[in-house]
Structure 1
């Protein structure tokens, strides 16, 4: 499998792993707790004991760690070798004696997909749209879900012309030098956040209360600063309307169990699909996964 390093050097791909390395310095117990709660909210349970959990595009490893702490048996992989290193460092810091597996790999690699087996929970938040082949990646992710299992993914919302404009911004970022990249990040921050700040200041003036937040923390334990850099530079970049994602789920015999949209605007729509199966087939699949993982 080809590593992403050459693509990054050629300006064809954002250095996601480097950005995750920088973010990982911020990981603490509060961020880990927020990551756990995001999984609990979407899946409707805080007990994953005995369930296998696949993290496709593990990034910093934060959500793999969260799943591990909820009791899951975790297997993580990422196409970016820097992300793999960062995830292993996080594992060694918080779960050094666990059976949490971390490896380098791509969801588009047939040899990897064929040997992974199937999992009770397949998780891929904000990843598949950065592969350069969104629909193939989503099909492959669906195929990794065990009978009776869950698929938890988030995919950028299709905004038509605005999405195409952002794609051009991202392409320019990755083919440019440090000065223009800095300018693009600054300009994007002003474009994305100035209206929100103005509203917050008006609310503060009206209520006398300071806006909530601070230290750049965001939902899911993320960072506003590193999320912004990821957004501006995140290329390859594809988008999908919810109905397109629903069709893929139905084609794989899945039912939608959870949907959180970005309100038709900028950002990701979040989906949890359940693979419909009886308990007997689920137990058989888990045994097959255990044999494959061993």
Structure 2
């Protein structure tokens, strides 16, 4: 599989550090609110939930808190799986939540997962090394009439600098040592958060404080994920919509304007 070739960013280590410092009821509440607000539901009662690229496990917990009857999460990164299992233990090892290691590019593994009412994959599929294969396999886990909630790095949002600039940055970051990575973290904040203006420091600090309101995440965790996220592919929004339409899905909602575009698709009752 393409995903297994070459050097990859240590997503699992990044999420491990985030969870150790930040996991708690408030993070779960924020994540649950973002999930339910986007799919425009009050809860997930009676629904099965598949978390593809479960990472920290935070969003799986959010789905359980929202009333999902069962949650299944998997991740390619062994450290992400370990982090999700750590979170499982923190919330009492619910019997209706399973976590395992697996790849969305592994056709045999994916075909054995079954079908779910809500398949969720936020900021994951573009990091596999074969985004269209990943989308196809993920979409295939949605039951007829079910929901597919996916977020993909948008090529439309990357104008200045263009996608090629960020692909070069990511390859440099993933091969860099600890010191150079910390330099690049600060370079990103200086150039893209403060825009070369020290007077913007108070605004930047305020944004860092408020950032957890976005899915319960942490700004520096996401900065490292953004700079180091390799392998990586950008996707044009219209291409994602067209591709999923060919798979038998209709677009219900789309949120743009950030690095990731969020899509909510519904699978037809008679899938292709």
Give the corresponding residue for 1:128: 125
Give the corresponding residue for 1:222. 217
Aligned residue number for residue 166 of structure 1: 166
d(CA) in 2 for partners of 1:145, 1:216 = 31
CA offsets per residue over residues 65-94 of structure 1, 9 Å max, x none? 000111111000000000001101111111
Cα displacement (A) at 1:46: 2.5
Q: TM-score, normalised by structure 1?
A: 0.83
How many corresponding residue pairs? 264
**Greater shift after overlay, 174-183 or 100-109?**
174-183
Moved over 4 A (4+): 1-4, 196-202, 210-213
* Contact preservation (8 Å) 1:3, 1:80: no
TM-superposition CA deviations, 1:30-83 (whole Å, max 9, x none):
111000001111111132122110000000000000001111110000000000
Correspondent of 1:267 among 231, 245, 259: 259
Matched, 1:70 2:62: no
Aligned residues: CA RMSD:
2.4
Match of 1:257 in 2: 252
**Aligned equivalents of 2:151, 2:198: Cα separation in 1:** 26
More displaced 10-residue stretch of structure 1: 189-198 or 248-257: 189-198
Classify 1:213/1:20 alpha carbon distance in 2 versus 1 (closer, same or farther; 3 Å).
closer
Distance (whole Å) between structure 2 residues aligned to residue 105 and residue 270 of structure 1: 23
For 1:1-294, what aligned pairs fall within 5 Å after superposition? 12-25=7-20, 26-72=22-68, 73-158=70-155, 159=158, 162-195=162-195, 198=199, 211=206, 214=209, 217-262=212-257, 267-277=259-269
Is the contact between residue 53 and residue 74 of structure 2 (CA under 8 Å) also seen in structure 1?
yes
TM-superposition CA deviations, 1:196-220 (whole Å, max 9, x none): 9856858xxxxxxx95762753411
Q: 2: CA distance between counterparts of 1:273 and 1:54?
A: 15
SS of 1:256 mapped into structure 2 = strand
Question: 1:186–1:211: structure 2 CA closer, same or farther, 3 Å change rule?
Answer: closer
Distance verdict in 2 for CA 1:211–1:197, change over 3 Å: farther
Instruction: Indicate the structure (1 or 2) with the bigger Cα radius of gyration.
Output: 1
State whether residues 124 and 154 of structure 1, in contact with CA within 8 Å, keep that contact through their aligned partners in structure 2.
Answer: yes
CA contact (8 A) 2:81 2:100 kept: yes
Change (3 A) 1:249 1:188: same
CA distance in 1, matches of 2:145, 2:113: 17
How far, CA to CA, are the matches of 1:135 and 1:2 in structure 2?
Answer: 12
Give TM-score, length-normalised by structure 2. 0.90
Matched-pair contact (CA < 8 Å) for 1:216–1:225: no
